Chain A
């Protein structure tokens, strides 16, 4: 860079990346913007539908169960809080993996990637349990067994319709993230990034993983808290 630097570096004058990033990272950022619009459309559709529907189930009543707990236990939002915590911790380990990549520390990358994969898989496992549990309670696409806040019978099935569609779409993103991270792990173990001289791929996978995490915060808020 020294040769082109006079007073200030002319980032936009061509011959170099204006953001000092290679194209893959740029594409990842734009892809994430695009994906944000996908989720945004889903959540806005959910919001408008819920706003125009009389009566909606109470999340504290719907999400009150816990695995292996006795029947009839009342633990509202405890399980989903654990799920959320797991996912956020997996983001922390992902950051550590990216950081280790910056330092060309292969062992650190491997260790933290494995932890991230475990976190992602644990989240998916939790989601699978929750879905199965709700299914056994009679909830599915096109079927909503839950009473409204005020105790009346729900006329529309859109609570479960949106819940399964949007958490399913998010779960699919987590699954893709786990697969990507497994591929990254294999490539790291094979020394691909050491030969390349950089761990940029881990950074890009990290961007995706943090994005999926961030989306969960919104999904969590919309379905469990509000």
Chain B
């Protein structure tokens, strides 16, 4: 067949590519650091852009925690910092909602989607499957530049006169559809939509590349069931993104028409009190937007979580010096989560006017997620069980991830019930749940990944002492911030309010809110320690002197300490076994590139 001949032509071309590679290093600053097509550099670009957003988004949360912790205090320096957004030294309601909205948007999309899977899918997929680069390095570069463009547009929305969008990160209409509804619904919302559309393009370009690379570019011997679990997780993440973001995109297009061209997709029977105007729109439904949004929104949770799960599985196994427990069950549960991710979106909408009978089906499907989640948790715990554990900072963050995933996941069982949701929806209980299980847990996964693969990224180590301080302060801080919110939520304290001190029922939480705000500031300050560690170590960190510092089995540790574009000098190694041969036949570890010995026991 013609295509077979073509593919073979490609293969021979690749062999020439190896040879070709070694004397082709005329890189300029621009091609190496700016318009780079090397997956490792693109990964670092994603990481550092994501870190910038994490700092900005985190700072926003500190600012609105100021308002929540000290609702009647005024700070002149706040006015110096924020100008009219903190008139008289107190954050205005408009600024408060803008901060909450932007915090949510950038943390979910820019930090935990682009910053997390953008970084680690780019960095780890070629290195761990044995490929010289992504299937299309050019599209990969475009993916980053679309993300950067999205970032710049979103950042610019902070500076427009009417402020950034302030109707919540979910951008429900009518607040998002009507410019007259609030100041943030004007230019800020237009910029929000442009930024998110650019982001969808970035995510699509990246996702297609990750899928094609994992399927097509595995090195010889790297069958799908020999891949490290990181790659499985990133593969499912990419599929989730490719299939769910387009639905959000459709929802946005309809929203753009509602905003600008007089349509009524989401609008019906509206009277705008602010401008004393009854609108002509008839026949639309705001719930339609919610369906389209959450059809992305729920898979998005797993887009954020799965990469963290994959990296944690890998790091737990390497640092327990034991094979991952239940490798096939891990893949199966990732698959089950990826499927269920598409079938549970309406549990975000139990009280929006959904048919209760429909709700009960979504309760069932939602609670089913507990099964694969429990499989994963037990497999992580049994991987640790009687392991020869090395408590590196990466390992601590990985264990911290498991802890947070359990604590946050258990409250998911409460929230997945539509009857309980009548009481719990839109309270601090929800905030506590999703921050612990998805936000902080995935952040821990990301930290674990950074600490673990930093030596591969920069050829130097991070400082361990700073790493330990960072871990313990962040873990304690995360629980101290979000655990008390469960009690506030159970007491009925609604989320997204500007000032709780005027309600008799919530006055009892004034002290607690101040405590949470204080801890939030401390935890934010500790992240600055991590930032210092990160940037200091790029130039001054202890140098990596061994090719395989962790005695790990996977392919990234068979590359040179500072791999060039193309990753391996000479031939790409062939793979002979799965990624988890630790402590087998009395050997400490056996690299994936070691052929199966004649008298080796038969497990894998």
Interface residues of A (CB under 8 A from B): 1, 10, 12-24, 26-27, 30-31, 33-35, 37-42, 45, 48-49, 52-53, 102, 141-143, 155-158, 161-162, 165, 169, 197-198, 200
CB <8 Å contact, B285 and A14? no
The 8 Å CB contact of B263, one of A20, A24, A48, A142, is A142
Flag whether B518 is at the interface (Cβ < 8 A).
no
Which residues of chain A have C-beta atoms less than 8 A from B288's C-beta? 45, 48-49
Judged by DSSP, the binding face of B is helix
B residues contacting the other copy or chain, number (CB 8 A)? 60
Would you call B250 and A42 a contact (CB within 8 A)? yes
Distance between Cα atoms of A23 and B137 in the complex (Å): 12
A17 to B284, CA, bound (A): 47
Return 17 A-B CB contacts under 8 Å, by A number: A13-B222, A13-B223, A15-B220, A15-B222, A19-B215, A23-B217, A26-B215, A34-B204, A37-B244, A37-B247, A41-B251, A45-B292, A142-B261, A156-B268, A158-B284, A161-B263, A161-B265
What are the 8 A-B residue pairs with the smallest beta carbon separation, nearest first?
A156-B283, A142-B262, A15-B220, A41-B250, A14-B222, A23-B135, A38-B246, A161-B263
Question: Min CB distance, B199 to chain A, in Å?
Answer: 15
Interface membership of B242, Cβ < 8 A: yes
B250 to chain A: closest residue by CB: A41
Q: A34 contacts B9, CB within 8 Å?
A: no
Question: A14-B223, A23-B135, A26-B215 in contact; A37/B246 too (CB < 8 A)?
Answer: yes
List B278-334 residues whose CB lies under 8 Å from chain A. 282-285, 288, 291-292, 295
Inter-chain contacts of B224 with A (CB < 8 A): 12
Complexed CA–CA distance, A35 and B387 (Å): 46
Instruction: Give chain A nearest CB distance to B108 CB in angstroms.
Output: 20
Distance (whole angstroms) from the CB of A42 to the closest CB of chain B: 5
| B249 to chain A: closest residue by CB | A38
Q: A45-B292, A141-B263 are in contact. Are A161 and B257 (CB under 8 A)?
A: yes
B264 CB within 8 Å of chain A: yes
What residues of A have a CB within 8 angstroms of the CB of B11 in the complex?
Answer: 16
Among A13, A38, A102, A156, point to the contact of B264 (Cβ < 8 A).
A156
Interface residues of B (CB under 8 A from A): 2-11, 129-130, 135-136, 204, 207-209, 211-213, 215-224, 226, 242-247, 249-251, 253-254, 257, 261-265, 268, 282-285, 288, 291-292, 295, 574-575
New contact pairs (12) apart from A15-B574, A45-B251, CB-CB < 8 Å: A10-B223, A15-B220, A15-B221, A15-B222, A16-B11, A24-B136, A31-B208, A42-B254, A156-B284, A162-B265, A165-B257, A200-B6
Smallest CB separation, A178 vs chain B (Å): 21
Judge whether B257 and A33 touch: CB under 8 Å. no
- In the bound complex, residues from chain A placing their C-beta under 8 Å from that of B244 are 37
